[in-house]
Structure 1
Amino acid sequence: MSRYTVEVKSATKTDPEATIGYDRPLRTFFLQAFPDPETDEYALWLGAFLEEHPTLESITEAARAIGYEVCGLTREMMLAMIREAGPPSPPSFGERLGIVL
């Protein structure tokens, strides 16, 4: 799993410590921003489900569609995540047993 720190902005707030990356077991890109200081729950959490966002473009577009902009993605970050997402990974044990859909 890769994790990179980026900035995520909305019309009213900014999280300079947001996290974007690729979760290989779930085969999805993920984005987490705006953690609640009391519960550690995220106001923005995309990519928590199997194959939810298979491309980097799909996750940034999904964030934009709900009013968030991802800033600070470098070329190196993007290439590293795309490389990690490139090779197909086999179904997990849970998937093979029919537990994970």
Structure 2
Amino acid sequence: MSRYTVQITNGTTTDDEGTIGYDRPLRTFFLQAFPDPETDECALWLGAFLEEYSTLESIIEAARTRGYEVRGLADISFEGGSSSAGPAAHSGRMGHPDRGDGLALEPEVLHVVPTT
């Protein structure tokens, strides 16, 4: 599993410690933000089910349809491999999870980065 800290805003409140990542066993991206101080349950929690968000674009769009914006993706790289998690994205589809394919992110842009 890979996970990174990002800034997530809903227009009125900002969570500077939101989490985005990729869960290899579930083969989905996930996004979490705005934990309740008493219960620790997140107001935003996407990507908890098998193959729910197979592309980064799909989870970002799902967050947007719920009124959230994700910032801070420019320096994040989801790399594949046996010890690190990450999908391969090409034309919006996932690659084979055992090949070690990966992708690097820039704001609103995905680039395929083959790993060796």
TM interval, short-chain normalised? 0.7 to 0.9
The alignment status of 1:67 with 2:64, answered yes or no, reads no
Q: What fraction of aligned residue pairs are identical, expressed as a percent?
A: 67
* TM superposition shift of 1:89: 3.3
Contact kept? 1:5, 1:19, Cα under 8 Å: yes
Select the residue among 76, 81, 90 that pairs with 2:78.
Answer: 81
Q: Residue 54 of structure 2 corresponds to which residue in structure 1?
A: 54
**Residue 41 of structure 2 aligns to which amino acid in structure 1?**
E
TM-score in terms of structure 2 length: 0.70
Residues 42, 14 of structure 1: alpha-carbon distance in 2 compared, 3 angstrom cutoff: same
* TM superposition shift of 1:11: 1.7
Q: Residue 15 of structure 1 corresponds to which residue in structure 2?
A: 15
Flag the structure with higher helix content: 1
- The CA deviation string for residues 21-42 of structure 1, in whole angstroms up to 9 with x for no partner, is 0000000000000000111100
- The CA deviation string for residues 43-76 of structure 1, in whole angstroms up to 9 with x for no partner, is 00000000000000100000001100000111x4
- The number of aligned residues is 87
Q: What stretches of structure 1 of length at least 5 have no aligned partner?
A: 91-101
Q: What stretches of structure 2 of length at least 5 have no aligned partner?
A: 81-85, 89-94, 99-116
Q: Counterparts of 1:88 and 1:23 in 2: how far apart (Å)?
A: 14
**Residue 88 of structure 1 aligns to which amino acid in structure 2?**
H
TM-score in terms of structure 1 length: 0.80
Q: Counterparts of 1:6 and 1:18 in 2: how far apart (Å)?
A: 5
Give the secondary-structure state (helix, strand or coil) at the position aligned to 1:62: helix
**Residue 38 of structure 2 aligns to which amino acid in structure 1?**
E
Q: Counterparts of 1:82 and 1:30 in 2: how far apart (Å)?
A: 15
Structure scoring higher RCO (CA < 8 A, sep ≥ 6) equals 1
Q: Residue 34 of structure 2 corresponds to which residue in structure 1?
A: 34
